[in-house]
């Protein structure tokens, strides 16, 4: 039976590169995102069977529809990559935009993780990669408050499920990908300029797949971000918040 990977947010960046990577590994690929034209262009480039599913995961019903749309496929890996950010003071960013961000970054990811995890647990195989961010490892993100909070949710949720699976002796894998800056369309959508040089989405995808293969819980591609994580743990939260606020202000 053919093995499938479902990738949300597959129209660009990390999601697109993960789709290419797993296609080269011999998996069939189900592509989900809002921009249908981008998905069909990508599907034409993949030398494997594909299924294109245009959808807006800010709509909760679309999450259930997506699950139903691949019910006939042998999905072995779910990659929750759909998400976006916005920069600015919490009270200055449009509220509807921040609600939509929470729906996509948190609610959609939670729904899909829940639906597929039940199937994976039943079969005692499968893997889930939740694309978070190094932001999710910090105590907070002044000037990107909601984005940081959503990614902290993804990390916390993944940590908890990882431990539940270990306690149950399950063979199902789950991991959170927590990169620092990546050279993708995120910058344009969030209207930010990163202070640090970003890694390529190709390298990020390679690190993500390597970590998932090895049953890692948290995958941090860059050594510098691993050191930042350690420094954040050792520093008083107020100091970490001030440093983060200073860095985020540079993006505006």
Q: DSSP letters of 204-241?
A: HHHHHHHHHHTT-SEE---HHHHHHHHHHHHS-HHHHH
Q: How far apart are CA 127 and CA 121, in angstroms?
A: 10
The contacts of residue 78 (CB under 8 Å, 6+ apart) are 5, 6, 112, 113, 116, 126, 127, 128, 129
Phi, psi of 116 (to 5 degrees): -75, -35
Q: Coil, helix or strand for 95?
A: helix
What crossing angle do the helices spanning 13-24 and 36-45 adopt, rounded to 10°?
30
Catalytic-labelled residue, pool 147, 148, 153, 203: 147
What crossing angle do the helices spanning 60-69 and 109-123 adopt, rounded to 10°?
30
Active site residue 203: no
Catalytic residue list: 147
């Amino acid at each position: 039976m053919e093995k499938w990977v479902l990738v949300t947010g597959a129209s660009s960046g990390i999601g697109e590169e993960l789709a290419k990577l797993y296609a080269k590994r011999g998996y069939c690929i189900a592509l989900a995102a809002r921009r249908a034209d981008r998905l069909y262009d990508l599907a034409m480039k993949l030398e494997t069977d594909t299924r294109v599913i245009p959808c807006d995961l800010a709509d909760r019903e679309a999450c259930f529809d997506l699950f139903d749309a691949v019910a006939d496929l042998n999905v072995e890996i779910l990659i929750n990559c759909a998400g976006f950010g916005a920069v600015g003071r919490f009270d200055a960013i449009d509220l509807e935009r921040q609600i939509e961000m929470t729906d996509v970054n948190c609610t959609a990811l939670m729904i899909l993780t829940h639906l597929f995890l039940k199937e994976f647990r039943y079969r005692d195989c499968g893997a889930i990669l939740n694309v978070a961010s190094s932001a999710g490892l910090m105590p907070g993100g002044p000037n990107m408050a909601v984005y940081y909070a959503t990614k902290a949710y993804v990390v916390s949720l993944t940590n908890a499920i990882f431990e539940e699976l270990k306690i149950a002796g399950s063979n199902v894998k789950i991991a959170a990908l927590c990169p620092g800056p990546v050279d993708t369309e995120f910058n344009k959508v969030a209207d930010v300029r990163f202070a640090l040089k970003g890694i390529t989405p190709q390298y990020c995808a390679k690190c993500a797949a390597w970590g998932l293969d090895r049953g890692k819980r948290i995958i941090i591609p860059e050594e510098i971000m691993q050191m930042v994580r350690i420094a954040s743990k050792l520093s008083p939260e107020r100091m970490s918040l001030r440093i983060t606020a200073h860095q985020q202000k540079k993006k505006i």
